[in-house]
Amino acid sequence: MPQRNALVEFKDAYLGYGSRVVVKGLNLTVGEGLTVLLGPNGSGKTTIMKAIFGSARVIKGWLRVNGSVTYAPAEVDGLINLTVLETVKTARRGYGWVSDEDAMDALMSVGIVGISNMRLSELSTGQKRLTMIARAIASNADLMLIDEPTANLDPGNRYRMIKVIRELANKHAVMVATHDVDIALTANQVVMIRDGNVIGVGEPGRVLTEERLTQLYGIVVKLIKHNDEVHVVFPVS
Ligand SMILES: Nc1ncnc2c1ncn2[C@@H]1O[C@H](COP(=O)(O)OP(=O)(O)OP(=O)(O)O)[C@@H](O)[C@H]1O
């Protein structure tokens, strides 16, 4: 039975490329708030997002997408000669394009107004990532798919990015693929995926256990509580 307000529903979906199955038997409903895909390299996180915006195949089962979708990729390639402002303005906003004002607001929300006239080719990896997230914000889409938002960010920008994502998720549906367990701890829904199979889905307090994280990454993972906040540690010895 389809859920009300569901933006995305996968039902027993097998996802992949050509005839190659990458994600197997996925059952997932994405609504408002923050959904985090957590899993090792190559586990199928990006493939789930690509299926939603139509660049990976639903080989079996079904997928329903209800609303506008934007995608902030982990890597930028084709846009490299544009300035930051021009890049943000390549986003669609509803049936139109993004205005200068919307673009500047989006740049402000991720703290990069100061580099709006620089070309992407002149930016650091972290600055490029912030630009692509500003582009997603400017689109004001119903569902924002964001791939690895905190990779390559310094601790200050990483902290600000987690706050930006949390704030976005108060107004939109946001799906994030990440290796950053701290983002998963702030999610409304976490999907733990290993080798294309979901091994846990639900609220972080319920699914993010030391046992499951250890199973997910194949190393010992500990959760510690400090001032009522849970933190993840990967003990070296
Ligand atoms: N265009 C493609 N054609 C064929 N196989 C692909 C394609 N893109 C990705 N794959 C394969 O799908 C599998 C899952 O890749 P995916 O990018 O979804 O993983 P991920 O969980 O996002 O990984 P990471 O954390 O490293 O970004 C990998 O084995 C990869 O080789």
Ranges of each domain in the chain = 78-141
Q: Which of 43, 59, 87 is nearest to 177 (CA)?
A: 43
Residues with CB under 6 A from ligand 1: 17, 20, 22, 39, 41-47, 177
Task: Report the separation in Å between the CA atom of 68 and the middle of ligand 1, taken as the mean of its atom positions.
Answer: 24
- Give the ipTM: 0.97
At position 92, the amino acid (one-letter code) is R
pLDDT in tens, 94-118: 778 889 999 999 999 888 999 999 9
Q: Which of 158, 187, 193, 161 is nearest to 175 (CA)?
A: 187
Task: Report the separation in Å between the CA atom of 109 and the middle of ligand 1, taken as the mean of its atom positions.
Answer: 30
| Residue 31 CA neighbour count, 13 Å, CB half | 8
pTM, two decimal places: 0.91
Give the residue carrying structure tokens 């607001």.
105
- Please name the residue whose Cα sits nearest to atom 13 of ligand 1: 42
Q: What is the pLDDT of residue 2?
A: 47
Q: What is the pLDDT of residue 84?
A: 95
Task: Report the separation in Å between the CA atom of 1 and the middle of ligand 1, taken as the mean of its atom positions.
Answer: 30
- Please name the residue whose Cα sits nearest to atom 15 of ligand 1: 42
Q: What is the pLDDT of residue 125?
A: 82
Q: What is the pLDDT of residue 160?
A: 83
Q: What is the pLDDT of residue 129?
A: 87
Q: Spell out, as residue ranges, where the chain has pLDDT lower than 50.
A: 1-2
Task: Give me 67's structure tokens.
Answer: 């609303």
Q: What is the pLDDT of residue 156?
A: 86
